A and B are shown apart, each in its own frame.
Chain A
């Protein structure tokens, strides 16, 4: 019985089990975990003194206070010594992030994602793979490196760096961290000077938050404690219960329930009112977050803007603050730039228009009733009894970042935060929730701002080599169907050319000859040489010529920080990677060293020296190299008041030994040296004295663009005509859910997770479902001019009538097949979360799915 193989027991780690500190491989929250590894046959006992947990398991653990050690927190791996080992990965009780050993459904199954040839993770890439005709053959690293280096060099020498293109991760956690981001940066930026480099989830080398950074306010300016201290928490385009789960459950929920009063007393003024926090959720959907917040008993407001209108909503709320004089004049004058404020006042606040006029227009554009706009602004900014400033924490994420004119949307919210002084004070902050963790250490990007759109560049026939590193653009790129089609055509054109004789199939045998033939082919066919570097054979890899197997989380050390506190910790290595897989930084170093040698042999020392110094033997070597490169001249011996001027992710002085010593406590970046003692110290909030990251330390204002009814997004606006709306009657948005992380690269292989989300799905309102005859589980073919896909329908009141919401990156069909090619010209960032589609009912459900998959509403907590 059971839909997957259950366990009725798990072995305890023995007292002498090897133990390690790590952090969850997945989301922005960065929960701490402990790893225990011990050889098969050496399990510990149930008595407290007989196991490594030091806990008594002769009777059950106590709810909440006990240790969670569940079925999915244990697995068996094999090391290179040929022996089986047990791995237990449990929440760290001493983490300041996942308080009490809390954990999410994703992190709770970290252990099951470890590689084993005896479990489903056997599909991890083991060896470098070379496409030979229509199959992949395993080859040694030296040959893979030789081929990649020779093709790179050939393209660079003949066409220059602009014909080299790449998509790379820029995050922390699994598949990232300082070591790996530096490895790519050193090779692609310092070495190859590639400006056609895009980021894992977007087309260019852009920040998702230039709208706030350009104001001098970094997006990660708060600390997790602020969620426990706030009077009012705003979640804007952030479904935190599902996408920052433990941050919501362990920090926001206790505050909503009034359980953080004692902590507030330490920070609040003696007579300052305090109570349970209120929450404002701004999201078109009735997300799980909305109803989870309501279930706590807290006061909750829910604003449901029309898709792609959020910056007008933020401006309208700011206008309310302005009109009702809920700002602090002293703060504005002392800490913000009142010269640029004039522009903000004119364009964003539209102070020359009547208040009535602006609010009426805002209601028309956003669909949010004027009274709600006014009430939300009041909740954010009203003085408390006694005249005390409200403590408001404003957090936004992909609903904002992947919005229409996303630069202005981020800017408008940042400016609402500055106008209401929601930054720098305990219980405040205005920034992003985060998607991934961070852990960014790269030399400067060699391209312009805003950067070129790499996806469109490559699909338009530009670029000879396309290197996809630790990401999966066949699911994640916008306008995906066209992207796949064009990349597929170009890679296939090269593949056909590689047969030396048109009438036969044989390809060159030596790597040098093959590289020469590839270079000839990309010239003659305008084909594309595609290299995919990843831990699994991704959808993108199906068109690759060369596949490079990478090590994952736990198979190499990495340093990363979370988003809610910029908390830097070491994610230790506790096992071997599969087969010949190697850490990303190591792969880049091998290719860098080979390029150095090839250019040295050519007598081109000016080029070869750009690759010098990649002779790293360990992750710690990379960290030291990055520190020297990035921070040699940085003065970090400054007080907290100067922290805003430092690299928010700066780690000068940090070593693995230091991080091992501080363990789960970690250190909040930017890491500084205490001005008196010289000891390394962390930085709680970035702007405790409101000195921002601008030349004069003042927050800089920006006047947002005038509203144009989405006309500048021509690919969406084309549907916004009476005929268009008739042919494509639904708005279409997309995003994550609780169960699967991003492309589900791991979860698709775990039976219990895959059985929960076996198919791509769209949420549909009961009204629309009834009108079209859909029941939950029925299959729908969804299309527009950009692309199409088949999705299971999920009937829920989450979405309003006339809107669909799709799981974004399902392996059986990405929502991005339908997304538009629009990007914000200010940032090159897409509006993934809004386009139009038509819906057609297919013949019903898949019976096996109906039998084993729950279609109960995920936003109904009773």
Chain B
């Protein structure tokens, strides 16, 4: 039920009816004020459970994982709320996290993140949850990455550096 309620709230954000214009803007724009890139990262029919697919978001220097979990996830997309995407970089010291047995684990110092719980760092040395990437799925099953929540390790802004 709670998931459905949040979905409605998100829909209302999408419809632009949120009362707070600053928050509404933040939902659509990167820290530098540009719109978050909308990137197609896969299609529902191609996703196999617990088989992560790599992509980059919001730019090519930021690797990420798209994965269909075995159960519903916080902010999960899709009919079973089990499709999620996260930064693939550990928030501790920047090593690439691996998806093993329904959680992300860092090979360097063993920080572990729960993808069903907002990337919560439930064990290890990382202070920050794994940044989660919001997904939208259209009628054709195409999965779009639409926005980042949380700061990717090693950067001072998720927004791509302007050159």
Contact = CB atoms under 8 A, between A and B. Distances in A.
B23 to A, nearest CB: 10
B135 to A, nearest CB: 10
A856 B134 contact: no
A64 B93 contact: yes
Interface string A621-644: 000000000000000000000000
Interface string B93-123: 1111000111101001111101011101111
Interface centre among B62, B128, B148, B158 (most CB of A within 10 A): B128
Interface stretch (B14-22, B43-51, B137-145, B149-157): B149-157
Contact of A8 (B31, B95, B110, B112): B31
A105 interface: yes
Interface stretch (A54-62, A422-430, A537-545): A54-62
Contact of B131 (A6, A69, A853): A6
A63 B94 contact: yes
A60 B155 contact: yes
A851 B136 CA distance: 21
A738 interface: yes
A854 B125 contact: no
A626 B132 CA distance: 51
Nearest to A8: B158
Interface centre among B93, B100, B151, B152 (most CB of A within 10 A): B93
Contact of B132 (A1, A72, A752): A1
A851 B2 contact: yes
A12 interface: yes
A573 interface: no
B126 A63 contact: no
Nearest to A853: B117
Contacts of A241: 110
A858 B122 contact: yes
Contact of B157 (A8, A62, A63): A8
A1 B9 CA distance: 10
Given A9-B156, A46-B156, A63-B154, A104 B125 contact: yes
Interface stretch (A171-179, A245-253, A271-279, A698-706): A245-253
B66 interface: no
B94 A854 contact: no
A848 B117 CA distance: 12
A470 B116 CA distance: 38
A61 B93 CA distance: 9
B94 A2 contact: no
Interface in A68-96: 68-73
Given A8-B151, A852-B74, A862-B101, A66 B94 contact: yes
Contact of B127 (A2, A60, A70): A70
A288 B125 CA distance: 12
A847 B159 CA distance: 36
Nearest to A245: B125
Nearest to B101: A862
B92 A68 contact: yes
B110 A292 contact: yes
A575 B143 CA distance: 47
A2 B93 contact: no
A584 B153 CA distance: 37
A260 to B, nearest CB: 16
A103 interface: yes
A249 B105 contact: no
A2 B116 CA distance: 12
B10 A1 contact: yes
B69 to A, nearest CB: 12
Contact of A861 (B75, B92, B105): B105
A10 B158 CA distance: 10
B122 A856 contact: yes
A614 to B, nearest CB: 39
Contact of B161 (A59, A72, A292, A295): A59
A64 B127 contact: no
Contact of A756 (B105, B121, B134, B153): B121
Given A57-B155, A103-B125, A752-B129, A1 B161 contact: no
A71 B150 contact: yes
B82 interface: no
Contacts of B120: 3, 752, 755-756, 852-854
Contacts of A295: 110
A109 interface: yes
Interface centre among A9, A58, A295 (most CB of B within 10 A): A9
B163 to A, nearest CB: 8
Contacts of A858: 112, 122-123
26 contacts: A1-B10, A1-B75, A6-B131, A8-B30, A10-B156, A61-B154, A61-B155, A63-B89, A63-B95, A63-B108, A64-B94, A66-B154, A71-B150, A72-B127, A101-B93, A103-B127, A105-B111, A106-B127, A109-B127, A241-B110, A752-B120, A756-B120, A756-B121, A854-B114, A854-B120, A856-B103
Interface of A: 1-3, 6-12, 46, 57-64, 66, 68-73, 100-109, 241, 245-246, 249, 253, 288, 292, 295, 738-739, 752, 755-756, 847-848, 851-854, 856, 858, 860-862
Smallest CB-CB A-B distances: 3 pairs: A108-B127, A63-B94, A9-B31
Given A8-B159, A70-B151, 20 more contacts: A1-B132, A2-B132, A3-B74, A9-B157, A9-B159, A10-B157, A60-B62, A60-B155, A61-B94, A61-B153, A61-B154, A70-B91, A71-B91, A71-B150, A105-B92, A106-B127, A108-B127, A108-B128, A109-B127, A854-B122
